[in-house]
Amino acid sequence: MNETEPGAPEPTACERCGDFAELVDYDGHQICEGCIGRLSEIERTPLTLGNVLAGSLWVLARVGLPAALIVALADLPMALIEVLVPDLPAILSTAYGATVSVVAQGVVLYLAHRAIRGERLDVGAAVRQAGDSVFNLVGSNFLASLQVFLYALLLVVPGIVRGLSLTLALPIAVNEDQAPMDALNASAARMKGHRLTAFFAYLAWGSVWMVAFAAYIAFTIALDTPGALPMSESLAMVVLVISGVLMPVLMIPVVCTTAVLYAKTLRYRAA
């Protein structure tokens, strides 16, 4: 039997896989050589703006199509309802976005993380994982939105800073099965020192979405102006439905950026 001698230091487990193998110091973390070899390029490279943007493009190329289908199917019912029921209370669409759309985002985040780790993309497994994490996803999104709103009441900048601090709440909720408050606290801790990089990364992708959103608003205003658009009412409704579905689809690059940030801040943890 190999027993630890009295007074000898306790054996240390690898921070990534938990095995008691021979460890090496890697950027201040004790992990085994096997785990170093299994780190993906995204996990291995520093969290810089260039690496985050390059990583999000890499993830988008691999999960973009299934992610677009998932998000489109999730948001299609509400897009149809909003067109067919113009006087629909805003609270209903908000509630839909805070539940169904958030769960769909959780599916995409799970797929993106599997892609980053070099695992096979399994949409069914991603849907089941997000379904099992509904409470964590919806609760984390609600509490994060509430905190950002309260911080924004002070000034816009504190609201932005708080939003960046909580940007990892959803991937933590779906990938680590953490309760809402635990996910928020973990996100705030992991994003320390990375918020400025995340801000510029989100700004790059968010600007594309803002242009599309401005075009969508201009189109809806033009529809209310007689003679502004030379198209039939039925065609205009079809365009509105398609536009309503495309808006969340265009946010997928932002979700991929969140997945990259999550992977880079999680790269030495067992997951």
pLDDT digits (tens, 9 = 90+) for 97-130: 889 999 999 999 999 999 998 888 899 999 999 9
- Co-location of 21 and 63 in the same domain: no
Q: Which of 1-5, 98-102, 225-229 has the lowest mean pLDDT?
A: 1-5
Q: What is the token pair recorded at 126?
A: 């991603």
- Co-location of 108 and 83 in the same domain: yes
- Co-location of 106 and 21 in the same domain: no
Q: How far apart are CA 143 and CA 93, in angstroms?
A: 18
Q: What was the pLDDT predicted at 9?
A: 58
In-domain check, residue 228:
yes
- Co-location of 118 and 197 in the same domain: yes
- Co-location of 28 and 59 in the same domain: no
Q: How far apart are CA 144 and CA 151, in angstroms?
A: 11
Question: Is 205 in contact with 253 (CB distance < 8 Å)?
Answer: yes
271 pLDDT more than 50: no
β-partners of residue 23 are 32
Q: What is the token pair recorded at 115?
A: 């892609």
pLDDT digits (tens, 9 = 90+) for 229-266: 666 667 667 777 777 777 888 889 999 999 999 999 97
In-domain check, residue 175:
no
- Co-location of 117 and 13 in the same domain: no
User: What number of residues does the chain have?
Assistant: 271
Q: What was the pLDDT predicted at 8?
A: 52
Q: What was the pLDDT predicted at 1?
A: 41
Q: What is the mean pLDDT of the chain?
A: 85
Give the pLDDT band (50/70/90) at residue 13. confident
Question: Mean pLDDT, to the nearest integer, of 183-208?
Answer: 92
Query: Which of the two residues, 268 and 208, has the higher pLDDT score?
Result: 208
Q: How far apart are CA 181 and CA 51, in angstroms?
A: 29
pTM of the model: 0.81
- Co-location of 121 and 71 in the same domain: yes
- Co-location of 29 and 121 in the same domain: no
Q: How far apart are CA 132 and CA 174, in angstroms?
A: 8
Number of domains in the chain: 2
- Co-location of 32 and 67 in the same domain: no
- Co-location of 2 and 19 in the same domain: yes
2 pLDDT more than 60: no
pLDDT digits (tens, 9 = 90+) for 143-152: 999 999 999 9
pLDDT digits (tens, 9 = 90+) for 197-219: 999 999 988 888 778 777 777 76
| Domain membership of residue 20 as a residue range | 1-39
Percent of the chain, pLDDT > 70?
Answer: 87
- Co-location of 17 and 122 in the same domain: no
Nearest to 108 by CA among 142, 59, 144: 59
Query: Which residues are CB-contacts of 79 (< 8 A; sequence separation ≥ 6)?
Result: 240, 241, 244, 245
In-domain check, residue 241:
yes
- Co-location of 63 and 97 in the same domain: yes
Give the pLDDT band (50/70/90) at residue 268. low
Report the range out of 26-35, 73-82, 100-109, 233-242 with the highest average pLDDT.
100-109
Percent of the chain, pLDDT > 90?
Answer: 49
Q: Give CA separation, 58 vs 37, 134, 138, 243, 260, in Å.
A: 20, 27, 28, 26, 10
